[in-house]
A and B are shown apart, each in its own frame.
Chain A
Amino acid sequence: MTPPQLTSLEESIRDELSAILGKKIDLETDAELKEEGVDSIATIKLIINLEIRFGIQIDDDDMLIHNFSTIQAISSLLSEKYDVAS
């Protein structure tokens, strides 16, 4: 089965993850990131890198682990709340 096409935002998130983990990430968008070795340090790095990349500041109220648990969850947060183009 052909995997669903990633949006450009989902691709950006995957690229950032690959850079942080130092290996190519080829995940389903709904796969749990912690199962793929994305630990606390990597999660925080990802948030900082996404803030820099998209010129945004994520609110404290959105700094919840479930918002960053999958590529899909991150993509939804960034596009719906921070108007990052998907």
Chain B
Amino acid sequence: MQVSFDVPRHLMDKTDILLDRVPYLSELILAMSYDQDDQAVNLTLSEQDGDSPQMQELRAAYMELCSSLELTRVIKERVVKSNLETAYERPAEPQGKRAAGLPYMEEFDILLLHKLDVEFTRIAQSHGAKLREYPSVLSKQNMMKNQYHLHFPQNIFGVASVPHNYKAINQFRMQAQQDAYEDTLLFEGEILQPCICYHCYEELQGTRSSEPRVLTGKGKCFRHEIQWRKDNFRRREFSMREIVYVGKEEWVVQMRQQIMEEVWRLFESFGLRGRIATATDPFFFSQDLQTKAAYQMMSNAKYELIATTSSGKNVSIASFNYCQDMLCSKYDIQGEDGAALHSGCVAFGIDRWKEAFMDRHGCDLASWPDTKPEKEMLI
């Protein structure tokens, strides 16, 4: 069935924030659109009974969400780099564009992901980064430190297992034979990593050094995206490379700036279009939006590189973060003077870079800038 919810007058300048959160109100929701003329959110639902308890719960949750956003202050982004205004010759339709939504990678995707990561790794290593590879799972102890799950619970994927217990193993098998094993799995707080950087902080935990340190790691990351919002840019499982830098305040700020400049040059060398602008993390709760998100915007704590696709879609493909001493305080990472160090990270959504590249050039590595020898090697 279809339902429409009016957007309250006090949220007219916050519709983006509202629309980002509505899909999480209920699993009944199968699709959503916004009618700007009627100022209403239109939902397609799996429920047929408009008076069912689930529908009443959805209406109440919508009201509560609207009410909680009332005091949220929206600070507009500050654009620090953009090539959207420069003359742009729209390229011919790229060769070999593919339909969206393939649930696996083909050879070209894999080659392109690798080539992109070579570039990101080169940038990291030019700043002295040490290479790392971490497990895909974050322990409960690590989660308690980073508190990601408290601020972004909507993204969490937990890891469950069959307990090593004779009775429990039998129980699992019996339930599995009836296609109903879910309740026999045990969840002990391990979370599939939503990003890489918390492993780096865990590695440096408890250390005392005034020497700047840079680590870089790549891995599969996992976020519980809503099924019907998934597309080539928004996946539940994706590859990310992060560069984490820890040191004195001035050095950390400078490091972020340098990497941002290099990444922008790389972005432009691919012929991609977009901007770098201040941004906030996608905090779920209004209390965090009112405080942490607003403070992030005020302190330029986060910049995002937002690619604009040929269809006009805007997609964040990298972020450049300055965490002040917050994470080093939590992980007890100090300088020799006993004060918590400062830190930051740069994150590359490698799959999104791939999609942005393919949107511009199709499946054609001839457009890769100045990499003839490597191209020949790969093809």
Contacts and interface: CB of A to CB of B under 8 A. Distances in A.
B290 A44 contact: yes
Given A44-B73, A60-B75, A60-B76, A65 B299 contact: yes
B323 to A, nearest CB: 12
Nearest to A40: B295
A84 B294 CA distance: 23
Interface in A20-59: 40-41, 43-45, 48
Main secondary structure of the interface of A (DSSP, over half): helix
A44 B294 contact: yes
A48 B295 CA distance: 13
Given A44-B73, A60-B75, A60-B76, A65 B291 contact: no
A48 B73 CA distance: 9
A85 interface: no
A64 B291 contact: no
B298 interface: yes
Contact of A63 (B71, B75, B292): B75
Contacts of B291: 40-41, 44-45
A45 B290 CA distance: 9
A43 B298 CA distance: 10
A44 B76 contact: no
A65 B295 CA distance: 8
Nearest to B71: A48
Interface in B276-327: 290-292, 294-295, 297-300
Interface of A: 40-41, 43-45, 48, 60, 63-65, 68
Interface of B: 71, 73, 75-76, 290-292, 294-295, 297-300
